[in-house]
Amino acid sequence: LEVQLMQAQKMESVGRLAGGVAHDFNNMLSVILGHTEMALLRMDPNQPTYASLREIDKAAQRSADLTRQLLGFARQQTVSPKVLNLNESISGLLTMLHRLIGENIRLQWQPAANLWQVRMDSSQIDQIMANLCVNAHDAIADVGEIIIETGNCTFDERDGTIHPHGAVGDYVRIRVSDNGSGMDKETRAHIFEPFFTTKEVGKGTGLGLATIYGIVKQNNGLIDVASEPDKGTTFSIYLPRFKGSEEPATPRTATSSFNRG
Ligand code: ADP
Ligand code: MG
Per-residue model confidence as pLDDT tens digits over 190-243: 999 888 999 987 788 888 998 899 889 889 999 999 999 999 999 999 999 999
Residue 254 confidence (pLDDT) above 50: no
* Whole-structure pTM value: 0.75
With 60 as the cut, is the pLDDT of residue 260 above it?
no
Residue that wins the pLDDT comparison between 30 and 7: 30
In the predicted structure, residue 253 carries a pLDDT above the cut 50: no
Residue scoring higher pLDDT (254 or 7): 7
Q: Which of 125, 118, 67, 57 is nearest to 91 (CA)?
A: 125
**Residue-level pLDDT at 202:** 72
The average pLDDT across 144-149 equals 98
pLDDT, mean of residues 175-179: 98
Q: 209: which residues sit within 8 A by CB, 6+ positions away? A: 131, 135, 191, 192, 196
- Beta-carbon count within 10 A of 84 CB: 19
Strands (E), the chain: 78-79, 82-84, 105-110, 118-120, 144-155, 169-178, 222-228, 232-240, 252-253
Cα–Cα dist 236/171, whole Å: 11
| Residue-averaged pLDDT of the chain | 85
CA of 43 to the centre of ligand 1 (A): 41
Tell me whether 0.95 is exceeded by the ipTM: yes
Report whether pLDDT(185) > 90.
yes
Residue 197 CA to ligand 2 centre (angstroms): 8
Q: Is 15 in the pocket of ligand 1 (CB under 6 A)?
A: no
Dump strand ranges (E) for 2-143.
78-79, 82-84, 105-110, 118-120
The residue whose CA is least distant from atom 23 of ligand 1 is 136
Q: Is 196 in the pocket of ligand 1 (CB under 6 A)?
A: yes
CA distances from 249 to 137, 153, 205, 231 (A): 35, 26, 33, 43
Q: H or E segment at 99? A: helix 94-101
Find all residues with CB under 8 Å of 250, minimum gap 6, and list them.
none
What is the predicted pLDDT for the residue at 70?
A: 73
**pLDDT tier at 180, thresholds 50, 70, 90:** very high
Mutate to test the pocket of ligand 1, among 105, 133, 205, 209 (most ligand atoms within 8 A of CB): 209
